[in-house]
Amino acid sequence: SQTIHQWPATLVQPVGSPLSLECTVEGTSNPNLYWYRQAAGRGLQLLFYSVGIGQISSEVPQNLSASRPQDRQFILSSKKLLLSDSGFYLCAWTRGSGNTIYFGEGSWLTVV
């Protein structure tokens, strides 16, 4: 079966510090990978998606970037965090030709 795991689960970072959130999918190959942000009490905002290694599409201009160094690994980064980057970040995956999206456990980021 397929699993998705993201870490760290919780992160408190000072303004101006770097960020790295990691996500890996197991049990499948060539998945589509996604990063979403969910503000408290609000819906899901798509940040990035990737259909293959090194292929990143950005949905929202912002202080964040994403990379896909390996087929089943997706990384969300920032060089300098802003207070507004605080939120709940979700990694997700679908099969290459699939129509069902599966989410990781989520990562809480608090920028102080």
Partner 1 sequence: GQQLNQSPQSMFIQEGEDVSMNCTSSSIFNTWLWYKQDPGEGPVLLIALYKAGELTSNGRLTAQFGITRKDSFLNISASIPSDVGIYFCAGPSTTSGTYKYIFGTGTRLKVLA
Query: Applying CB under 8 A, which residues contact partner 1?
Result: 32, 34, 42-44, 46, 49, 51, 57, 88, 90, 94, 99-106, 108
- Shortest approach of partner 1 to residue 23 CB, angstroms? 11
**92 in Cβ contact with 78 (< 8 Å):** no
Q: CA dihedral in degrees (66, 35, 49, 93; nearest 10)?
A: 130
CB of 79 to partner 1, least distance (A): 26
Do residues 53 and 43 make contact, with C-beta atoms less than 8 angstroms apart?
no
Taking the complex as a whole, the smallest distance from the CB of residue 16 to partner 1 amounts, in Å, to 26
The single residue listed with the structure tokens 């980064």 is: 77
Q: Which C-beta is closer to partner 1: that of 16 or that of 26?
A: 26
Compare residues 67 and 103 and give the one whose CB is closer to partner 1: 103
Name which of 46 and 77 has its Cβ closer to partner 1: 46
Residues in the chain, overall count: 112
| Sign, CA torsion 96/33/2/102 | negative
> Least distance (Å) from partner 1 to the CB of residue 93?
11
